Amino acid sequence: MASKNQPIGYLPDERPPIVELLLFALQQIVVMFPATVLVALITGFHVSTTIFASGLATLCFILITGRKIPLYYGSSFSYIAAIASIMAAEQFAGYSLDDKISVAQFGIVMSGFVSIAAGLIIGRTGRKTIDKILPPTVTGSIAIIIGLSLAANAMSGAASFPTVEEAQTAIAQNMAWVISIITLISTIAYSVYLKGKLSQLPILFGLLTGYVVAVIIGLVTGIPFVNFNTIESDSILSLPIFTLPKPSLAAVGAIMPIAIATIPESTAHVYQLDIYVNDLAKKMKSTKKYNIADKLGLNLVGDGIGDIVSGMIGGPAGTNYGENISTMAISKVFSIPVLIAAACITMVISFFTPLINVVYSIPNAVIGGLSIYLFGVIAAQGITIMIDRKVDMFKSKNLAIIAIILIIGLGGSFGFGGNGMIPMFGMHFPALATAAVVGIVLNLLLSIGDKDEAPTE
């Protein structure tokens, strides 16, 4: 029992009573659901499969990490541009949707091995090796181009409207902008002004606001922004659509290197979690020490296993979610049994056709409005990485690395037909992956002869 002055909470190895456990699990689902589903909607992956893969990958992550790291696995925004480049690639133009997903799956599975390799390296050599290969000038710049390369997708999505008669085209486009702008402004307002637990739900609230506006506009104008019949089925229950990976060098080249950009994100999450959990343990007068920060390598291995599991069944690549960590920090519930329950409930939800149709009914204009904000935040996080690590912007080496990554990444994304591929030497190179590889190689070359410096983070 907690004393009057002792905070109430649950540490990773503690299990709340069943009713509390289910409520806490639903809370975890609520904060991960919008972003995970949004990735599926943007990339064209099956929503039900994405949801199922998220739950299954979380269970595998918890199992692989020995129930020691309380993290939830969800779809990663970092991979969207790379996956989109494969889904829209001219060489796969004649493929069916499922065949395109299968091709992308192969790159996702292979990206999992990058995370596993990084985890094994860190386990043997420590974080110092990763900092040499991936300094903040590289990781920050990669995050910036990942976010900004999606700018066109966000804006085109915001202007998207359903098929209508020619006479209604102009008003449909105007109404799409109204929906997307209201979605964007409301999401920003919720993220800035909501306090307490509600402050963790701005994406969900913004989505709901835009959705309601779309329904109202549809009723007034007759334009079907909201459609509940995407999946036609007489049955309430429906199996997710599972597909197998199809080997493709193009998918490996486009998707696999993006795993590099998620390593710093996972690293930050583990260190944040270590602080939160041990602070609660101290306040609850627990004598147990939770060495979560020492399990950074294990976390990356688990993250890689999650990508492999998700990619094997038709889900997008993922990462551990900051939204879930924030929710745990606010509620002081770090219980791994809660995350296991959340994963199981998520998998069950994926089998209900009406719920999946509700998800599919979200208008593209709403998704576009959210994307303008979310993709911008990804880019802003790249700037945050460099500020947090105190990158010297007056140092020629740093300027060279940042400049080259930004121009190759953004120029390759928007030039050459805007397909995210750079035609060079008779071949086509994916812009984001090329920028990342060039940045890493350039950093290593310019670092030859440098003396080890104390970390500035």
Q: Which helix (H) or strand (E) holds 449?
A: none
Q: Which helix (H) or strand (E) holds 237?
A: none
Which residues share a beta bridge with 318?
75
| DSSP class per residue in 335-404 | -HHHHHHHHHHHHHHTTBHHHHHHHHTS-HHHHHHHHHHHHHHHHHHHHHHHHHTT--TT-HHHHHHHHH
Report the DSSP pairing between strands 318-320 and 73-75.
antiparallel
| DSSP class per residue in 135-202 | -HHHHHHHHHHHHHTTHHHHHHHHT------GGGHHHHHHHHHHHHHHHHHHHHHHHHH--GGGGG-H
The reported pLDDT for the residue numbered 186 is 95
Which has the closest alpha carbon to 9: 278, 299, 343?
Answer: 278
Task: Judge residue 43's burial from the number of C-beta atoms within 10 Å of its C-beta, 0-12 exposed, 13-18 middle, 19 or more buried.
Answer: buried
Q: How far apart are CA 275 and CA 351, in angstroms?
A: 37
Q: Report yes or no: 29 and 342 within 8 Å, Cβ to Cβ.
A: yes
Residue 231 carries which DSSP code?
S
- Token pair for 23: 């409520």
Spell out, as residue ranges, where the chain has pLDDT lower than 50: 1-4, 454-457
The reported pLDDT for the residue numbered 1 is 43
The reported pLDDT for the residue numbered 321 is 78
Q: CA quadruple 127, 128, 131, 132: dihedral positive or negative?
A: negative
The reported pLDDT for the residue numbered 7 is 59
The reported pLDDT for the residue numbered 242 is 94
The reported pLDDT for the residue numbered 374 is 82
Which residues share a beta bridge with 428?
423
- Token pair for 262: 């998620």
**Residue the block writes with tokens 């912007």:** 393
Q: What single letter denotes the amino acid at residue 226?
A: V
Phi, psi angle pair for 109, to nearest 5°: -60, -45
Query: In whole angstroms, how far apart are CA 225 and each of 41, 155, 326?
Result: 15, 17, 33
The reported pLDDT for the residue numbered 453 is 53
Q: CA quadruple 21, 268, 33, 117: dihedral positive or negative?
A: negative
The reported pLDDT for the residue numbered 198 is 73
Q: Which helix (H) or strand (E) holds 64?
A: helix 47-64
Which has the closest alpha carbon to 429: 94, 133, 89?
Answer: 89
Q: How far apart are CA 105 and CA 312, in angstroms?
A: 7
Q: Report yes or no: 113 and 308 within 8 Å, Cβ to Cβ.
A: yes
Torsion-angle region of residue 424: left (phi > 0), alpha (psi -120 to 50) or beta?
A: beta
Residue 319 carries which DSSP code?
E
- Counting other chains too, the contacts that 192-199 makes at CB distance below 8 Å and 24 or more residues apart are 196/330, 197/327, 197/330, 197/331
